Structure 1
């Protein structure tokens, strides 16, 4: 266990509500999503066992992770601030440049008010460091994490998980967190360079620099977890001279990983048993996006918040369906924005010229290149309609970030309980009391007590539909 374990426990000043009924969860997949889910469930008093097929070192992974404010605030609330800040770097701005030439297109400083409202920080750290923090915290809370533990099959109906060696584990709820291809399904800055069909994102980690390269699809299809085997110099064709030394010094990379707009799963909850999908198993995100890791951790936080109110077994399925209702709309909207951001970075032809002209003009005026106020003055100063439109689009994207960063997933789960969960419970209690009264009044005449109707929280909820507009690069 690393040194972060002690602070993970001692710094957790927020005592969460404990479930009246403690049940057993088996989490299939011990990556970031699985560990975060396990930690969240242990915080509210449930029993959790995590199964990860890779070794500990293999599961730690490589590369960097961006932790936006909507994610860091969850970790801070869980008492992990000190452990994270021991290795993470706090970013204060974004720098933008041209991929082919290295020309500086300007920068955008994080809005202090935005960060204050979000109650989080924008952090960058290595995947391995984040894994260590979550593993230590989950284990310290009492979760059992088994590495080198391959799962051969899952039976949703019986809540049974069969391991490769034949061992069968049973749980009240099985959580699939094994990814897209699984059985269940300090003051620093970020730098981004835009190109024609290409882009790079670079940011510092402790003693290292993470580099992510976007390039046209060449037909190869790598996956996270593969052994690094790709030379960046073979992908980053046409890159500017200023960037070539960094590319030449980079170790081999994983990939190339295709960017896909996946077909949404209609159901994340099994109809024949207590199996629920979270993270990449439920909603794969494009690789190297800002919010992919955040959405997976939000899943675990919401699931645990709902199950902190568990008091009887009949609530299990209602809570699982409530989780699906709460998360699907949020994830679909955020993922659509992430895809649009990828198209924005890799724009080609006239779209790229308009984008770059707008950013240059705002940088020359000393403004943040994605600032909404800059967009309002863009047409007057640049006298270029297309540039003003591009500025407005960039400003709209920045406002979208404000909304995404400010979202509090745990508050949303609590709101569901107050608006729907308690309502259902009180309705059930009222029905039960009325039935008891009728039975007492009619007992002398041989009247039989009518069964109390079952209340389905999931069907009582308002369904939210999100319409995604397709984009093309």
Structure 2
């Protein structure tokens, strides 16, 4: 089905509906709940905070590999009403305001991906997923703080002492939650990078000329600096502009969900006068430390039906493009696999199939997003080379992210095509056709063969009626 369709066909319904308990009611948890309800499973979501806190604030970018999923789920109409569509990236120099060039998204590439590049607020995306999931019958419980897990018994204990169980536990409670800790068996801290993101919103009315430029650009802009960077894009149409300021940071506790307490002017050392205007009118920012986590070997608990998704499985640098996309891809793949559930014995194999399908994809994209952060905030010779290359391409009328040679440009296009054009639900369907169905057929053949061979108990009455003649003639 084309991702451009605003309505989705009814998905395959699982022959054996089971109970899922999702720990974490953020974007990852709600998207997973929606996906599982679409295929007929029963879902309860536990969110440790209240709904207002869980909705969050700030902006979020939805790349084509994500929007195609949401379109397929029948959410295109509401997204088109809420979101802005980006067509280009504008690059500037953080310290001087110099415009380095632009990159216009290739129309043919976007057409091939079957998605579009959207921008909206975290709270708007949250509400869209919440309404869709609960509209299909998902139960969402707020102020339900899970403090202990027993994966072997598929049991969750809340801080109130209440115990809940399900056929499968899904950990969607982020990089600091109890589910990642249960998989690791130890603490969940990552390694500090010395950088943080300061996430905030600037009313367009405070920057009328600047807001008009963004409207004309139909997109977002990035400012490169020495150990600093800015990413900005319009939300609420053009009413507000989401800003993420990257700056040095030696602390390790800041995360989404924290209160906005940071004065942006205090962290924008060396900023150009024209960009400093933005910092002066910005609201208080939420500081989110950028930590680097090692790839996990296991996403499935070895002694129980607990699987982790989203940031719990693969923590992304905050505010990067693909973090939200990978979390929603996780839920889409898990649901696609469990749409084929017909017997309880399949549960474990589907969980490990999910891990097999998702690990390499998510980890590869995550490493790329870390590289992008370092690229934006590079200093010294690396930054000089980056900026000179962009200036030269811009002067030649080229997209500044194109490769240096034809083969490099093709390679760069291929990189975007692979990431944006990836269809996670198709991948899950392919796994079922190539491996899942074959395994089921093999098991059916073994079952038929076993049932056709008489057991010793079946043969015993026949054996007892046979008269055995001794060779001695007795």
Q: TM-score, normalised by structure 1?
A: 0.86
The 8 Å contact of residues 370 and 398 in structure 1, kept in 2 or not, is answered as no
Q: Match of 2:397? A: 366
Whole-angstrom distance in 2 between the partners of 1:396 and 1:96: 21
CA distance in 1, matches of 2:370, 2:429: 30
Kept after mapping to 1: 8 A contact 2:6/2:72: no
| Distance apart, 1:217 and its partner CA | 2.7
Change (3 A) 1:260 1:446: farther
In the alignment, what sits opposite 2:64? 69
Give the conservation status (yes or no) of the 8 Å contact 2:94–2:230.
yes
Name the structure 2 match of 1:213.
245
Indicate whether 1:336 and 2:331 are aligned.
Answer: no
Q: Is 2:290 aligned against 1:259? A: yes
Superposition map of 1:181-192 within 5 A: 181-185=176-180, 188-192=218-222
Provide, for residues 121-153 of structure 1, a one-character-per-residue CA deviation record: whole Å limited to 9, x for no partner. Answer: 000000000000000000011101111222232
Asked if 1:87 is matched to 2:87, the reply is no
Structure 1 stretch displaced more, 310-319 or 13-22: 13-22
Q: Which residue does the alignment assign to 2:311?
A: 280
The answer to whether structure 1 residue 43 and structure 2 residue 61 are counterparts is no
Task: Determine the structure 1 residue equivalent to 2:405.
Answer: 376
Alpha carbons of structure 1 residues 443 and 268: separation in structure 2 relative to 1, 3 Å = same
Once residues 26 and 410 of structure 2 are traced to their aligned partners in structure 1, the CA distance between those partners, rounded to angstroms, is 34
Counterpart residue number, 1:434: 449
Q: For residues 288 and 221 of structure 1, what CA distance do their matches in structure 2 show?
A: 16
Question: SS in structure 1 opposite 2:303?
Answer: coil
- Report if aligned partners of 1:439, 1:447 keep a CA contact under 8 Å in 2: no
Distance 1:398 1:289, change over 3 A: farther
Query: In the aligned structure 1, how far is the partner of 2:161 from the partner of 2:179?
Result: 18
Unaligned runs of 5+ in 2: 181-214, 464-474
- Among residues 213, 224, 227, which one is paired with 1:197 in the alignment? 227
**CA shift at 1:444, angstroms?**
3.9
Q: Residue 470 of structure 1 corresponds to which residue in structure 2?
A: none
Query: What is the distance in 1 between the residues matched to 2:168 and 2:114?
Result: 32
Please say if residues 370 and 395 of structure 1, whose CA atoms lie closer than 8 Å, have aligned partners that are also in contact.
no
Counterparts of 2:139 and 2:126, CA distance in 1: 15
Q: What is the alpha-carbon distance in structure 2 between the residues aligned to residue 357 and residue 85 of structure 1? A: 38
Q: Displacement, 1:292?
A: 0.5
Give the Å deviation of 1:431.
0.8
Match of 2:467 in 1: none
Distance verdict in 2 for CA 1:305–1:36, change over 3 Å: same
Aligned pair in 2 of structure 1 residues 447, 204: CA closer, same or farther (>3 Å)?
A: farther
C-alpha distance in 2, partners of 1:258/1:430? 54
**SS of aligned partner of 2:253:** coil
Question: Is 1:108–2:99 an aligned residue pair?
Answer: no
Check the 8 A contact 1:200/1:212 in 2, yes or no. yes
Pair 1:179-2:170 in alignment: no
Q: How far apart are 1:12 and its partner, in Å? A: 3.6
Distance 1:104 1:347 in 2: 17
- Do the aligned partners of residues 220 and 308 (structure 1) sit closer, same or farther apart at CA in structure 2, a change above 3 Å counting? closer
Q: Deviations over 1:284-327 (max 9, x none)?
A: 11111111111111110000000000000000000001101111
How is 1:385-464 mapped onto 2 (pairs within 5 angstroms)? 392=408, 396-397=411-412, 399-439=414-454, 443-444=458-459
Which one has a bigger Cα radius of gyration?
2
Aligned to 1:348: 379
Provide the TM-score with structure 2 as the length reference.
Answer: 0.86
Instruction: Check 1:428–1:211 CA distance in 2 against 1; reply closer, same or farther (3 A cut).
Output: same
**RMSD of equivalent CA atoms:** 2.0
CA contact (8 A) 2:336 2:429 kept: yes
